[in-house]
Structures are given as structure tokens and as C-alpha cells.
Amino acid sequence: MSDNSLVLGGAWMLIALPLLGAAVLLLGGRRTDGWGHWLAVALPAGSFVWAVLALVELLGRGAHERSVDVPVYTWFASGGLEVGANLLLDPLSISFALLITGVGTLIHVYSVGYMAHDERRRRFFAYLNLFVAAMLVLVLADNFVLLFLGWEGVGLASYLLIGFWQHKPSAAVAAKKAFLVNRVGDLGLLIAVMVMFTTFGTVAYSGVFAELDGAGQGVLTAVGLLLLLGACGKSAQLPLQSWLLDAMEGPTPVSALIHAATMVTAGVYLIVRAGPIFEAAPAAQTAVAVVGAATLLAGAVIGCAKDDIKKALAGSTMSQIGYMTLAAGLGPAGYAVAIAHLITHGFFKAGLFLGAGSVMHGMNDEVDMRRYGALRRYMPVTFATFGLGYLAIIGFPLLSGWWTKEGIIEAAFASGGASGQVYGWAALVGAGLTAFYMTRVMIMTFFGEKRWDEGAHPHESPVSMTAPMVVLAVGSVALGAVLVYGYRFAAFLEPAVGAPEEHHEFHFAAMLTSWPSLAALGLMVAGAAVAWFMYGRVPVPRTAPEGNVITVAARNELYGNQINEGLLMRPGQAVTKALVAIDTHVVDGAVRGVATGIRDTSGELRRAQTGFARTYALTMLFGAAVVVATLAVRI
Amino acid sequence: MITDTPPSIDYWLLAPMLTVFGAGVLAVLVEAFAPKARRRPLQLALTAAALVAAFVLTVLQVGSVPAEGTTLAMGAVAVDRPALFFHGTILVLAAIALLLIAERRGGEDAFAAQAAAVPGSEEERAHTLAGSEHTEVYPLVLFAVLGMLLFTAANDFLTLFIALEVMSLPLYLLCGLARRRRLFSQEAAVKYFLLGAFSSAFFLFGIALVYGFSGTVGYAGVAEAVQAGGGGAFAGGGGGPLLLLGIALVGVGLLFKVGAVPFHNWKPDVYQGAPTPITALMASGTLVAAFGALLRVFFTAFGDTAEAWRPMIWVVAILTMVLAAVVAVTQRDIKRLLAYSSVVHAGFVLTAVVAADAAGLAGAMFYLAAYGFTTIGAFAVVTLVRTHEGGPEAGELTRWAGLGRTSPALAGALSLFLLAFAGIPLTSGFIGKFAVFEAAVAAGAVPLVVVGVLSSAVTAFFYVRIIVLMYFAEPAADGTVHTARAGALTGTAIGIGVAATLVLGVYPTPVLDHLVPQPGGEAVATAGAFTR
């Protein structure tokens, strides 16, 4: 064992606590109905405290001693192969651990109010705890196999929670869809791990990264692209984006925690964690940036047309993760800004989702924004917190989103060349679109006329729900400055993700007045103004107008489902049918043949067991003859 | 060897065996002189105390045995790390088997009221009604255990032969003592005895040939003669055929004890006929002892002529793994199935023998210990499933259908044992199989391992079939079984089996790192594992 302190050496407790919660709630059955949800809140909170202590201890060390390998468990070691589970605590993983446990705990608290009347509440909290544990495994793993275990674990939790209201067919279908689309990405990751193991003989991060020089460009590019495929699946990036909008069928806290703040950012984590591979494979790195840029625009366009408040926010999530992916595709210069945006986004997007959940809570679970309107007076806390989250996401100067998004735009332009211009402009256009669709959400929900259904009596949510929203709103306002001002966070991450080639000094004034910054500001104002002209100045119809080609395409999620269906599903079904036929007739035939053969042989051989000692003795004599013969050949 | 000076004997290192021996002798006296009512508790206490004391002594010896081991009593007995490991394992397994042997339900244990009475006779009925008990079981077990201990530590062929007989004779008797289906039990005992005698003849003849070649019966002397190309009358060479024939026939004797094909026929019949607690003792303790002896003989005495005997083990291992697995597929009785399973597992361990190095020794040692705990647990479960309350054991598998619903805990434990037999990860069976197959691959026996893996797949079929039967089959309308409540003793035995199967599967590192030799690819002699 190592000489790590109690806090660092016991890092497995971070995972064990929520896992314990899941186990107690799932195995304890109805006995835990009364208090189970409070246990489920307390355990991630305990993990959060543990993570804070670990952060304090890491900060107390020198910048280059902050990467701590925590041996947890060796299953068995045999020659060069050691199978076990080790954790890696470094600035990158601890940042994620804090986000997951911090935002996770808030959302657990929120869920106590949100799910108060659900009869399967215990199970819901069990799954949430399971998710937190799996997500922590994902980010704390020190090798790709353990990461994959966590990756599958969050996929499972996501599946269970999207389909939590399984009595709704749409929820069950959405869960299945999320699971299936994610399988495609998971397969990519799995193959990548296998290729790494055969090429490098190890799956540990440190081992793989140390051996990169020995591998050919083709292998590295393949590994990079496969990892990107895995990231696309988990993070809903093109072309595996289609499941995220449907995933909004899950309870809103799930959308906030899993499908906005944490799980969907796992792809970005993977790319940043595997940074050295992408740096050694420029083609794959370019693919990352291109995917990110394309998704950030596609997500924003979809967000512009959706009338379902959660789906509009889901499009926004796609788009914001696109920003992160784009930044992660820029190399070391982008890693820190990608992660910084990921963290601030975790706060303001979780806050927005919780706000949306609060609105739905007050409006009989209505999700269509055309049935909202004028809610600011009825739900002041929700309005205020949602409004702050709104300002943060559109990049209102000095709020969290501004600090981190500016970083991405600047890094995109700074990457140079024509590609840098393309990335930069994509990010700028995306910023304008963000301002448009978020202003649209804001106006349709909180301003204008009442367009409520009959029987709607909007009211403010209970304190257990509003308190987490307030905390998240504080983060939406202040966290960006805390992280970005003075390159604090970038410097903290540097030992883990590598330093950019040219080191920028932090110039606050330049950040305010550089031309991309001003352009972003202008586009933001323009986007918000257009939204106001379209939705604020004129009354919003209760049924959606027909709309032009682009609107219709955006409403249909840019035909992603239709493309999948025509390109993949139908040919896939045909292939499946063919394979089933082959399986039934050829494979099963062979298997049954072998089984029948063995059984018949077995029946024949049984007869040798006659029960007569004389037969047995004869068999032994024969055996002795065989044995003697094997040795006698050497005489 | 006749000398003027008496040999010096280190009694401290012999203490475990002497303890068991002394307790066995004492138990005979108890049987003769203690009043009937007190006999059983006295015998039980004495046997348990002897096993525990011997185990404690074995553990205490770890510190006083040099790393490369030592020999005692003029080289007749070796005490080294593997010997201590086998001694500890055998003693623990025997203690668990003792729990099963001592278990009584409804005032009856598993043994005949009066073995000498003709089955079905008036005399037998009278003894049954009088509640007679065979407390001779306990001294017999002690002597059998003594034989097992000595078998793994014997360092010359004569001691080995004596140990073999000390181990076997009590077992022959114990096999014939079943309370129910007594004719069946006696038939098993007679078969076991006849075939055992037959194999002993081969074994002795083999020893004679080896002595002829080397002029000595000590393993060290034989090993020297093998290196020198001959000893004694054949010091000038020319004794090669004698040695090869000797190896083959000694091999026959040892392979009979481990139950490898084609010397396995006794196993299904004997395992089925013997009282189940005795079957549990044989399937765990005897198997460990037999392999302990086989490993020591082949790795030390014949270690330098491994190329000569490797093909023999190859052939036997392949026959064992393939034939036993195939025949097991159509077995309909749980005890016979477990017997064939024991044969297949002997084949898996033989793949490690082929390696003939420290890794092979380590793999085999781990495998045997893991398998011993699992199999004893499985037989403990068998003792609980009865045809009806107070009835005999329900051996036929069809009657086990639906057990998962009626007795979930019992079915769960058995499922774990079966999964361990099948080598599913996170059970001890997986680690064991991995260790022996890895050793075999490292020694270049890849085809053997391929056969082993395929055979594992076949075995998985019939293990999982039982699980399917227990959980997914409707109970047969007429074939309902009664599961006796596990008493404290049987419950403890099953609990230890479950715990060992899980712990050795999930966290095997302490055992692999500290208790078995470190695999390094060297020959065992240079690795300092076995003493010569």
C-alpha cells in the first residue's frame, strides 16, 4: 500500500458511499420507504465532503505532486497481467468528483420535494445513488477498463431513470432508444480499449500514454476515432445525438443531473483524459473539433424550434456540449476551457432544468411552453433563479457562462488557420443562436399573456426544491469568475491535462475588449432582440404556426431520427433477420449437433461403468498398459 | 538402512502428525473402555481437539521451517512450505468434514447402527431400535487423516506406501458404514478395497523397479540416480527401462488415488455408496493428499526426467478432462455427478503437473485448496435434501426441481458452488483454473489447455443445468423433496464453503502471494519449494 493519507488513500469511499445507498435502498425493500430518500441524500453529501477534503489536501501539495494513484484492490496478478482496480486522483478527476457530488447532492435534495408523491420514490433514489457511484467510478478510474465499467454503469442508471415512469410507453421507448444508441458508442469505446490492450499491452492511462511513440499513426488515429465514437454516444454529439431529446421523458431531476450536468459530459472527459492520444493523432483531433462545431450549431437550431421546454433545454445541452467538444478538439489550449465550461454549464444548466421542473410542478406537469406565460409573478423564486441561469448561458458579461464561453471562442480563433476561423465563427453564431432560443424560452414561460390550460393553478415550489435552485443560481453567477479569473483553474488543471504551447497571461481588459468578445456580445444582443420581436412583442399562439422549412426541420430534430431509421434501422433490421436465420440454421444447428453428439457419446460411455469390479480392474489394466506405453517409447 | 546410532528425530516438526496419531490411538482406547453413553461426546471432543491442535501446530511451525525446507527421521519425511500448506489444508477440510460426520438428525447420524449385522436382518433392526452408534467412525477418521498428512510429506517410497495404506484402509471401512442403502454402501466399500489393492500392487511393483534402478528408496537418492543415469546395481548405466517402467507403475498407483481416467471407475460408485459425510472427506481431503504426494514424487524424485513422464501425464490429463466431462453430462444422481466432476477437476490439476515448475506447483496447490472447500460445501448441501422428513437423501436430480423456490438459501449456496466448479469469475474456481492453465501455457502445453477450456465448457453445461433445474423448473408432481433444516454443524460447513469460495475468488492475493510458491518459471528444486 502507498503512504497516502486517510483522505486520499480512502478515495474509494467516494464511490462506496453512494453505492451503499443504492444497495440499502434496493435490497432493503419497503422497510426503507420512510427514511431511504434521506439516506440517499446524505451519502452523496458525504462523498462531497470527502471530495472537498481531498481537494484541500491536493491543493496543499506541490503542483506536480497532485496526481495520486490510489491502489484499491488487486484481484490477481499473474506475470505481466495485473487485474484490479486502482483510482487516480488528480486535478481533473477531483474537479469532476466535486461537480458530480456537489450538483448531485443538490439534485437529490430537490428530488425529495419533486418526487414526494411518487410511490416508487425509494427506487428512484436508489437509481440516483447508483448513478452517482457509477459516474464516480468513471472519472476516478486510473485505467480504461475501469472507466468502461463506470461508463456502462452510468448508461444503466440513465436507462433505468429515463424509463422510470415505465407506465408511459413513450418513456419506455425513450429509455430503450437511449440504451441502443449508447451501445453504438460503447462499442466504439470497447474496441478502442481492446486495440489499446493489444497494441500497448496495458490499459492504464499512464502505461498507454507512455507507449504512444511506439505505435503507428494508423493505430492511433483508429483509437482516437473510436474513442470519439464512444464520446459521441454518451455526450449526444453528431451523429449519435438522437437519444438525448427523447431522454427528457425521464423525471426532471434526472434530466438535470444526468442529461445536463454530468453524464452527458463524460464524452468530453474521455477526450480530455485521453488527450495524449489525440495529440499524437491529429486527424482524430480534427474530427473531434469538427464534430463539436457541427453539434453546437445543430443543437442550437433544434433548441430554437422546440415548444417543449425540456426539449428546448436538451437541444441547448447538445449545443453547449458541442462547445466543450470543440474546445477539447483544440488540444491542450482548449482542455482547460472545455472543462471550465463543463463545470459552469453543470451549474447553470442544472439550475435551468430544475427551474423547468419547478414550473412543470406548478403547472400540472405541462411541458408545452405555448401553455405557459406570465409565470414570473406566480413563481418568483423560480423566475429569479431561472433568469440568472438564462443570463449565464447566453453569456451575459461577467456571469459564469460568459467567462467560460469567451475562453472557448478565443481558443477557437487562436488555434489559427482557416480551421480556426471556421471553429471561431461557428462558436460565435452558436452564441447568437443561444441567446435567441433561451430568450424565447424565457419569454414564453415567464412573460406575455397567460395561455394556461384550464385548471392550472401555478404556485411556487416547496423549499426543498427552491433551495437547490438558489444554490445553483449562485454558482451560475459567480463560479465562472472564480475559475477563470487569473487562469486559476487552468493552472490547477495543467499538471493533469498538459500545458498549452504558448502561455497566455490573463488580461481582464483584453478579454472584455477583444474583437471576438465584442462580436459575441453583439450577436447575443441581436439574438435576444430577434426573440423579443418574435415572441415578446406579439402574442404567442397556443398552437404552433406552420413555420418555414428550417423551422420544420428543427422541430423534427433536423431529421436525425429519419436518417437513422432509413440509413441504419431498416438495413439493420434486414441484416438482423438474415443473421437470425443464419443463427437458427447454421450456428444453432452446429451447437445442437455438438450437444447431441456429446450426449449420445456420454450415453455410450456410461455403459463402461458397469458396476462390476472386474470390468473396472480390466480398465485399469488397460490404462496401465497405455501409461507404460507412453514411457516405453523412450526405451 | 541399519546403523549403530539411533536416528535423531525432530519431534517438534513431527508434532502435528504425532498429535493426530496419538489421538487416534487414544480414541481406540476410549472406544474400548468408555461407557456407551459418554462415548460419542468424548470421541467427538477428542477428534475435534486433535484436528484443531494439529492445525495450530502446523501454523506455528511455519516460522521454524527454513525456506528451503528440511527432512526428518533420516530423510523419511520432508517438512517444507508445500507440506505445511497441504497439512493445513487437509486439517481444515477434515475438520469441516467432521462437522458433517457429527451431525445427527432425529437422533441418527449418517452411519449404520451396527455395521457387522447383515443388512435387513433382525439383528440390525434390534441395534437400530436400541440406538446403537458406530463411534469407531472417529478413530477411523483420525487414522485416515494421519495417512493423508503423511502422504503429502513422505520423502521416500516406503514411507509413501505406508502412508497410502494408513490413509486408505480406514476409508475402505468408512465407505461401508452408511446407515441407509447398506448393501449399496457395502458394495462400494468392497469395490474400493479390491481396486485399491489392485492399484497398490502396481504401485509397489513400481517402487521395486525404481529401487532396482537407483539402489535407494529415498526421493533425494532417486533424484541423484536419475541425474547420474543410474544407481546401485545400475550405477554404470543401462537401467533406463527399469526407471521408465517404475515411473509408469508408481504413476498408476498415484493416478488411481486422484481418480484420473482410466483409473477412475471406482469414484462414482464409491462416492455414491459411501455415507455422504465420508464422501465429502474423500472428495476434499483425500484428493488434496493424493495430489500432494503425486506432485512431490514427480517434481522431486522424478523431477529431472520430466520429459520422459510428461507425455504420460498429457495423455491421462486429456483422457480425464474429456471422458469424465462427457460422461458427466448424462448423470442423473447428484452424488455421481459430483464424483465425475471430481474426476474432471483432477484432470485440470494434472495440466499444472505437466508444467513441472514452481508455477505449476503454485497453481495446483491453490486449485486443490479452493476445490476442497467448494466440494465439501456441495456435499454438505446434498446431506440436507431428503426424499421426505427423516428419509434418505434424494439423489435423483429430477427431484431437485424447484428447490430454488422452496429452499432459496440452500439452492443459492449450491449454485455458488456449482458456478465455482464451472470456473466463473469472482469465485475461487476461476482463479484456480486460471492459475493451472496459465502454468500449463507457460510450460508450452497449449493444446492441453485448449482441451481443458473446451472441457470446462462441457462441464459448465451440467453444472448450470442443475441451477436451471433448481430455479426454473416446476417441481415434479410426485417428486417433492424435503429439505432438512441445516443444523448448526452442517450450516457451519456450508457457511465456510461459501465464504472460502467467495473470498478466494474475490481476494485471492494473500494466498497467491504468501502461501503458495512464487511462480518464476524455475524448476521446483531451484525455486526451493519442495525439499529433496
Query: What is d(CA B95, CA B189) in angstroms, rounded to the nearest whole number?
Result: 23
Mean pLDDT of B208-218: 93
> What is the Cα–Cα distance from B223 to B229, expressed in whole angstroms?
10
What CA–CA distance (Å, rounded) separates A585 from A580? 8
Q: Which three cell numbers stand for residue A224?
A: 482516437
**In B, residues 320-349, which contact A (CB 8 Å cutoff)?**
323, 326-330
- Radius of gyration in angstroms for the set of CA atoms belonging to chain A, rounded to a whole number: 28
Inter-chain contact B263–A620, Cβ cutoff 8 Å?
yes
CA contacts within 13 A on the Cβ side of A353: 32
Each residue's pLDDT tens digit, B410-419: 999 999 999 9
- Give yes or no for residue A14 having a pLDDT over 60: yes
Give the SS3 label for residue A117: coil
d(CA A266, CA A231): 7
Over the range B192-220, which residues count as b (16 or more CB within 10 Å of their CB) and which as e?
bbbbbebbbebbbbbbbbbbbbbbbbbbb
pLDDT, residue B1, reads: 53
Nearest chain B residue to A74 by CA distance is B509
Contact list, A77 vs chain B (CB under 8 Å): 509, 512
User: In this complex, do B240 and A635 lie within 8 Å of one another by their Cβ atoms?
Assistant: yes
Tens-digit pLDDT profile for residues A237-271: 888 888 888 888 888 888 888 888 888 899 999 99
Does B461 touch chain A if contact means CB atoms closer than 8 Å? yes
Cβ-contact A624, B202 below 8 angstroms: yes
Report whether A58 contacts A66 (CB < 8 A). Answer: yes
Can you give the pLDDT at residue A305? 85
B263 and A75: CB-CB below 8 Å?
A: no
Among B241, B327, B509, select the one facing A605 at the smallest CB separation. B327
- Residue that wins the pLDDT comparison between B106 and A192: A192
Task: Find the CB nearest A623 among B247, B263, B329.
Answer: B263
Establish how many alpha carbons lie within 13 A of residue B339's alpha carbon, considering only the half-sphere containing its beta carbon.
26
Spatial separation of the C-alpha atoms in residues B17 and B27, rounded to whole Å: 15
Chain B nearest-CA distance from A631, in A, is 6
Asked if residue A59 lies in contact with residue A106, where contact means CB atoms within 8 angstroms, the answer is: no
Q: Which residues of A touch B514 (CB under 8 A)?
A: none
Segment (H or E) for A14: helix A12-28
Query: For residue B117, which phi and psi values (nearest 5 degrees)?
Result: -75, 145
* Helices B137-153 and B36-61: angle between axes, nearest 10 degrees: 20
Decide if B464 touches A, using CB distance below 8 A. Answer: no
Q: Where are the alpha helices (DSSP H) in A83-212?
A: 91-114, 121-140, 144-162, 169-200, 205-210
Instruction: From chain B, pick out residues whose CB is under 8 angstroms from the CB of A627.
Output: 248, 251-252, 255, 312, 315-316
- Whether A611 has its CB under 8 Å from any CB of chain B: the answer is yes
Residue range A427-473, pLDDT digits in tens: 999 999 999 999 988 888 888 888 888 777 888 888 888 888 898 89
The mean-pLDDT minimum among A360-369, A507-516, B34-43, B336-345 falls in A507-516
B249 in reach of chain A (CB within 8 A): yes
User: CA of A5 to nearest chain B CA: how many angstroms apart?
Assistant: 23
Please name the residue that has the C-alpha cell 480504461.
A144
Within 8 A by CB and 6+ apart from B194, the residues are A613, A617
> Which residues in chain A are contacts of B269 at CB distance < 8 A?
609, 611
B106-110's contacts with Cβ under 8 Å and 24+ in sequence apart are: B106/B390, B107/B131, B108/B179, B109/B133, B109/B179, B110/B178, B110/B179, B110/B275, B110/B276, B110/B277, B110/B278, B110/B383
Which residue has better confidence, B43 or A458?
B43
**Sequence letter at residue A598:** I
Q: Give the pLDDT of residue B119.
A: 83
From chain B, pick out residues whose CB is under 8 angstroms from the CB of A619.
262-263, 265
| Cα distance between residue B161 and residue B150, in whole Å | 10
- Using only C-alpha atoms, what is the Rg of chain B? 22
Q: Where does residue A374 fall: left (phi above 0), alpha (psi -120 to 50 degrees), or beta otherwise? A: left
- Chain B: give the shortest CA distance to residue A179, in Å: 26
Give burial (CB, 10 Å; 0-12/13-18/19+) of B252. Answer: buried
Contact (Cβ atoms closer than 8 angstroms) between residue B50 and residue B19: yes
Contact assignment for A632 to B244 by CB distance below 8 Å = yes
With cut-offs at 50, 70 and 90, classify the pLDDT of residue B524.
Answer: low
Residue B262: is the preceding peptide bond cis (ω within 30°)?
Answer: yes
Choose the closest CB to B198 out of A73, A611, A617: A617
Place of cell 420544420: A552
Q: Is the pLDDT of residue B527 over 70?
A: no
Of B195, B312, B458, the CB nearest to A616: B195
Kindly give the pairing relationship between strand B482-483 and strand B70-72: unpaired
Higher pLDDT, B481 or A339: A339
Enumerate residues 75 to 94 of chain A having a beta carbon within 8 A of any beta carbon in chain B: 75-79
Cβ pair A635:B269 closer than 8 A? no
Report the residue of A1, A82, A604, A616 to disrupt the B interface, i.e. the one with the largest count of B CBs within 10 Å: A616
A622 close to B (CB below 8 A): yes
What would the pLDDT profile of A392-438 be if each residue is shown by its tens digit? Answer: 998 888 888 888 888 888 888 888 788 888 898 999 999 999 999 99
Cβ contact (<8 Å) for B262 and A622? Answer: yes
Largest alpha-carbon pair distance within chain B?
76
Cβ distance of B507 and A630 shorter than 8 Å? no
Residue B201, pLDDT above cutoff 90: yes
Mark residue A559 as left, alpha or beta (left: phi above 0; alpha: psi -120 to 50; beta: remaining): left
User: In this complex, is the C-beta atom of B471 within 8 Å of any C-beta atom belonging to chain A?
Assistant: no
Structural contact between residues A83 and B506, judged by C-beta atoms closer than 8 angstroms:
no
Residues B56-72 have pLDDT tens digits of 999 999 888 887 888 88
Q: Which helix or strand (DSSP H or E) is residue A87 part of? A: strand A81-89
A620 closest CB neighbour out of B190, B198, B241: B198
Q: Which amino acid is at A605?
A: L
| pLDDT at residue A33 greater than cutoff 90 | no
Percentage of chain A lying above the pLDDT 90 cut: 22
Q: Is A141 helix (H, G, I), strand (E, B) or coil?
A: strand
Q: pLDDT digits over B311-328, tens only?
A: 999 999 999 999 999 999
Contact A624 B438 (CB under 8 A): no
Does B494 score more than 80 pLDDT? Answer: yes
Q: Which residues pair with A82 in a beta bridge?
A: A77
Predicted confidence (pLDDT) per residue in B355-413, tens digit? 888 889 999 999 999 999 999 999 999 999 888 877 788 888 888 888 888 888 899 99
Does B282 reach chain A within 8 Å, measured CB to CB?
Answer: no
- Best to test chain A binding among B319, B329, B427 (most A CBs inside 10 Å): B329
A355, A374, A243, A372: which is closest to A307 by C-alpha?
A372
Q: Does B256 touch chain A (CB under 8 A)?
A: yes
- Report chain B's mean pLDDT, rounded to a whole number: 90
Q: How confident is the model at residue B203 (pLDDT cuts 50, 70, 90)?
A: very high
A602, B327: Cβ pair inside 8 Å? Answer: yes
Give the model's pLDDT for residue A45. 92
Tell me the range of A115-124, A148-157, A480-489, B104-113 where mean pLDDT is highest.
Answer: A148-157
Nearest to residue B93, comparing CAs of B152, B35, B14? Answer: B152
User: Among A14-23, A325-334, B445-454, which range has the highest average pLDDT?
Assistant: B445-454
What is the pLDDT averaged over residues A275-295? 91
pLDDT averaged over every residue in chain A: 86
Q: Which of A565, A531, A590, A570 is nearest to A390 (CA)?
A: A531
pLDDT tens for residues A203-240? 888 888 888 888 788 889 999 999 999 999 898 888 88
Residue A557 region by backbone torsions, left for phi larger than 0, else alpha for psi between -120 and 50, else beta: left
Contact B252 A627 (CB under 8 A): yes
Q: Does A603 contact B at CB distance below 8 Å?
A: yes
**CA atoms of A631 and B17, how far apart (whole Å):** 36
Is the pLDDT assigned to residue B44 strictly greater than 90?
A: yes
Is B245 part of the contact surface with chain A (CB cutoff 8 Å)?
A: yes
Asked if B437 and B306 count as a contact pair (C-beta separation under 8 A), the reply is: no
H or E element at residue B523: none
C-alpha distance from A83 to closest chain B C-alpha (Å) = 11
Q: Which residue in chain A has the smallest CA separation from B311? A: A630
Q: Using CB atoms, pick whichever of B202, B248, B512 lies closest to residue A76.
A: B512
Give the torsion sign (CA, A585, A587, A593, A595).
negative
**Which three three-digit cell numbers place residue A144?**
480504461
Of B241, B266, B330, the CB nearest to A616: B266
Report the alpha-carbon distance of residue B354 to residue B349 in Å, rounded.
9
Predicted local confidence at residue B256, as pLDDT: 96
pLDDT at B530: 80
Inter-chain CB proximity A635 and B308 less than 8 Å: no
Q: How far is CA A514 from CA A332, A510, B235, B258, in A?
A: 22, 5, 98, 83
Contacts of B442 in chain A (CB under 8 A): 79
pLDDT band at A2 (very low <50, low <70, confident <90, very high): very low
Reported as a pLDDT band with limits 50, 70 and 90, residue A8 is: confident
Does residue A631 belong to the interface with chain B, where contact is any CB pair within 8 Å?
Answer: yes
Residue numbers in A near B244 (CB within 8 A):
631-632, 634-635
pLDDT bracket for residue A1 (50, 70, 90): very low
ipTM of the complex: 0.91
Q: How far apart are CA A288 and CA A395, in angstroms?
A: 24
Which one-letter DSSP state was computed for residue A567? I
Query: What is the distance in angstroms between the Cα of A499 and the nearest Cα belonging to chain B?
Result: 39
A628/B contact by beta carbon, under 8 A: yes
Number of inter-chain CB pairs under 8 A, A vs B: 114
Q: Which amino acid is at B221?
A: G
Helices (H), B103-136: 122-130
pLDDT at B521 over 70: no
Note the residue count of chain B: 532
Residue A555 has pLDDT above 90, yes or no: no
Instruction: Provide the pLDDT for residue B2.
Output: 60
Contact A288, A228 (CB under 8 A): yes
Q: Which residue is associated with the grid cell 528440511?
A: B70
CB–CB contact B438 A78 (8 Å)? yes
CA-based nearest residue in chain A for residue B506: A75
Whole-number Å distance between alpha carbons of A443 and A533: 11
Measured between beta carbons, the chain A residues lying within 8 angstroms of B202 are: 624
